[in-house]
Structure 1
Amino acid sequence: MSTSTHESSVTAAPSSPAGAASLPRRVLAQARFETMTMIRNGEQLLLLLILPVMALVALTVTDLLDGYRVGDASRVDVAVPGILVLCVISSAFSGQGIQTGFDRRYGVLRYLSTTPMGRAGLIAGKLLAILAVLAVQYAVIAAVAVPLGWRPSWEAVLGSVPLLILVALAFTGLGMLIAGTLRAEATLAVLNVVWVALAAAGGVLFPVSVLPGWLSWLVAWLPSSAAGEALRECFLMGSVSPVPLLVLAAWAVLSWAATVAWFKWV
């Protein structure tokens, strides 16, 4: 299989030699490795868990979200949906993007793409790792939020799962696109700056209504804003309007199409 720097399409895995592990087992092994790499890294742990937990506690004990409570919803009820979206952005966008960028710089991606797992298997392993980390993040956030008074319905919890998967798909595509087109140092800088910008004014923790009229209209079309709106509607109102879902789906499709077209493996 060619590993030219100009080749960017995700190809199918090579045929397995006799006695080799099956493709699903290879993908699961890669997902396990990616998951443990993300969780064991101290800087990643700060981004994946510590900062979201700190943000959850801060939003719950202050009055920053009091203007956005629906009915008898408490502060923690309003805070948790945005924190879950922040967790996805941390893992799928920043965490995996930075890891992929440096794997590409050191030639790890080129090596792995020529193994029997292939490029498609490698991408599948990364996606599974992100979902595994997201499950850990969800459990940790819930464990902190429940003592603070969070009492979601089971319908809302179950409904949030496919929403978070859609958010993860969109932000993984964006993270992979940046990691596959910029140098590792630039990827690190861009992803960290964008993470801060989205958390502060991207409609994640606070609804876009806090922004000026023209800016709120613009930010409403970002995947971060659509994700925050969808999760808040799910937990606070029990249903999700189609607009944020369509925005998220569009970002997912476009980001992965761009990644397939422009991603450089070396």
Structure 2
Amino acid sequence: MLLAQAGTETRLALRHGEQVLLTLLIPIVLLVGLSLLPILSLPEPRVNSVTPGILALAVMSTAFTSQAITLGFDRRYGVIRRLAATALPRWLLVAGRMAAMLAVVVVQVVVLSVVAAFLGWRPAAAGLGWAVLLVLLGCAAFGALGVLLGGTLRSDIVLAVANVVWFVLLLGGGIVIPLADLPSGLAAVAGLLPSGALAEGLRAALVDGAAPGPGPVLVLLAWAVVGAGVAVRTVRLR
């Protein structure tokens, strides 16, 4: 049942044009553009500095933005309520969505990694294990926040808020612009956000081949635990 539900959710996500644009096309365009054009001052090869942030963007796009919007509209049209009334257990419904989200993230990471490799990306092999752990923690943190947003607000409000948050975190959340290049006050705030923690952790792992340190890991864990705890108490079926 879990495999069937996860497979259905994954196919629906990949068939949705707007979600494909958000989860694949925009990250690819940013990856190529920031790697080839001197828009930001980055060390050479530029792709090595750009790719970790784009991978963080991919996780945020799928686990938070896409999931929040999809859940909001599924609630609006009664999909969640009808599924909850079937023999499908509620926990399995949630697990199926989480598994589908992970499947889409895997597709994103593979596609973006291939594109980055063609652009000359050479990740530090010593940090690959840390990168996998950080991506999983990022999925948990952003996934919990996506469920919280999509499960509590009206669909039209979810659509607006999710896209605004995505854009703000893209520019000021440590994803495209490293924390070291942000103003000190904004950098301090961004470092406590899941976007900044994930992007900086991936940069440490994939560029330097070093452990991300306790900071990014604890920030992502805190957002995942708090977001999930609040979501359990506030998410509605309609």
TM-score greater than 0.5 by the shorter chain: yes
Q: Partners of 1:74 and 1:260 in 2: how far apart?
A: 44
TM-score relative to the length of structure 1: 0.86
Partner residue, 2:228: 256
State the shift of 1:182 in Å: 0.5
Q: Which residue of 53, 57, 67 corresponds with 1:96?
A: 67
Q: Amino acid of the residue matched to residue 253 of structure 1?
A: V
Q: Partners of 2:35 and 2:182 in 1: how far apart?
A: 21
State the shift of 1:65 in Å: 4.3
Partner residue, 2:19: 44
**1:58-77 superposed Cα distances (whole Å, 9 cap, x missing partner):** 1101224444x3xxx62111
Q: Structure 1 residue 265 and structure 2 residue 227: aligned? A: no
Unaligned runs of 5+ in 1: 1-25
The size of the alignment, in residue pairs, is 237
Q: Which residue of 186, 190, 197 corresponds with 1:226?
A: 197
Partner residue, 2:3: 28
Q: Amino acid of the residue matched to residue 251 of structure 1?
A: W
Aligned ranges 1:1-266 → 2 under 5 Å: 26-67=1-42, 69=43, 74-238=45-209, 239-266=211-238
Higher helix proportion (structure 1 or 2): 2
Kept after mapping to 1: 8 A contact 2:124/2:205: no
State the shift of 1:117 in Å: 2.1
State the shift of 1:181 in Å: 0.9
Q: What's the secondary structure of 1:116's corresponding residue?
A: coil
Moved more, 178-187 or 208-217: 208-217
State the shift of 1:158 in Å: 3.4
Cα RMSD (Å) of the superposition? 1.3
Q: Amino acid of the residue matched to residue 176 of structure 1?
A: V
Q: Partners of 1:217 and 1:153 in 2: how far apart?
A: 27
Q: Partners of 1:116 and 1:231 in 2: how far apart?
A: 41
Kept after mapping to 1: 8 A contact 2:200/2:216: yes
Based on CA coordinates, which of the two structures has the bigger radius of gyration? 1
State the shift of 1:93 in Å: 0.5
Q: Partners of 2:46 and 2:152 in 1: how far apart?
A: 40
Runs of 4+ in 1 over 4 A off after TM superposition: none
State the shift of 1:130 in Å: 0.7
Q: Partners of 1:40 and 1:123 in 2: how far apart?
A: 20
Unaligned runs of 5+ in 2: none
State the shift of 1:143 in Å: 1.5
Q: Sequence identity, in percent?
A: 44
Moved more, 111-120 or 172-181: 111-120
